[in-house]
Structure 1
Amino acid sequence: MTRTQFILLAIGGSAAALAGAYAFEYIGGMAPCQMCWWQRYAHMAAVMIGVLALILKGRTLPYLGALTALTGAAIALYHTGVERAWWQGITSCSTGSIAGLDVTQLLDPAANVAAPVRCDAVAWEMFSLSMASWNGLLCLALVGVWLIAASKRA
């Protein structure tokens, strides 16, 4: 495979992850938590870097793509640890915070205050792995794809 094909594979992997995340949200009705959004941002950045890497030659952008995928993996694996109670997550997403709301908003049913989506609850899993776990594995694979793209001559 050529450098361009590996970059396209990396772009496709991140685009597929984003498509899956949005499908779970809009078709499956599963709202993302704060850490889920952070994982999406890593994939969005990887897609943009990939497009630039197709236009601009050189090894810098594929290495930056690998770093972005590694960042996504780190966030996903941290999120997995929070879901599995291996460590504590950020309080804004693991405690059901109602900060910023006054008593009248909390007691008024018409206010329609949505409960925050918790980062420490597994919303979906397959083969005992949560979405965050699967995303972490995908991101680690994409690190490899990006590094192979970087090693290829333009």
Structure 2
Amino acid sequence: MRPVPKLARALAMIVPAGAMAAALIAQYGYGLAPCEMCWWQRYAHIAALVLAILAWVTRDVRAQTVLFWLAVLGIVISGLIGGFHAGVEYHWWQGLTTCSTTRLGGGDALDAIMSAPVIRCDVAAWSLFGISMAGYNCLGSLIAAAGIAGLARRGR
């Protein structure tokens, strides 16, 4: 068994790290609080990033390969969640009825809970050219995962 090419392993780290950086910049730089489905996309990217880092530092080729493909799967899962989320935002289908979160501020906890705005999953907080952040995550993650997988397969 040959090791996964370095470029493919590097991209498996860069893609989820970039997606997380974009999400955090949107949240803390532009005040776009994440809804529940946004968090699900983030969790998949975080898992992919951790797995890709482990694949990078692991010397055992078999373990490296398994970790790498699990990282690619994490990127795909985030993209699929993003696609589902985008469909909910565009009202193509109904989302989960419990999908909302609140943005809590400082001070008294009860006052913060009672006055916190509800972040809805079926309303896009931002869009560019009619595509929401969830839509861009879907497109970017799935295309990147396909490219990374292609690099890995071609390099063998």
| TM-score of the superposed pair, with normalisation by structure 2 | 0.81
Which residue, 43, 46, 54 being the options, matches 2:45? 43
Structure 1 distance, partners of 2:84, 2:125, is 16
Asked whether the equivalents of residues 62 and 146 of structure 1 are also in contact (C-alpha less than 8 Å), the reply is no
Which residue, 66, 74, 85 being the options, matches 2:80? 74
Give 1:90's aligned amino acid.
L
Give 1:49's aligned amino acid.
L
Identical-pair percentage: 39
Aligned counterparts, 1:125-136, within 5 A: 125-136=127-138
Give 1:30's aligned amino acid.
L
Deviations 1:24-44 (Å, cap 9, x if unpaired)? 111101110000000011111
Note closer, same or farther for the CA distance 1:147–1:60 as it changes in structure 2 (3 Å cut).
same
**What is the number of residues matched between the two proteins?**
139
The corresponding residue for 2:57 is 55
RMSD: 2.0
Structure 2 distance, partners of 1:35, 1:47, is 19
The corresponding residue for 1:20 is 22
The corresponding residue for 1:102 is none
Which residue, 91, 97, 104 being the options, matches 1:91? 97
* Runs of 4+ off more than 3 Å: none
Asked whether the equivalents of residues 37 and 81 of structure 2 are also in contact (C-alpha less than 8 Å), the reply is yes
Question: How far off its partner does 1:117 sit?
Answer: 0.5
Question: How far off its partner does 1:19 sit?
Answer: 0.6
Which stretch shows the higher mean deviation, 38-47 or 2-11?
2-11
Asked whether the equivalents of residues 73 and 137 of structure 1 are also in contact (C-alpha less than 8 Å), the reply is yes
Gaps of 5+ in 2: 103-109
Asked whether the equivalents of residues 60 and 150 of structure 1 are also in contact (C-alpha less than 8 Å), the reply is no
Other structure's SS at 1:92 match: coil
Question: How far off its partner does 1:134 sit?
Answer: 0.3
Structure 2 distance, partners of 1:149, 1:45, is 21
Asked whether the equivalents of residues 9 and 68 of structure 2 are also in contact (C-alpha less than 8 Å), the reply is yes
Q: Report which structure shows greater RCO (CA 8 Å, sep ≥6).
A: 1
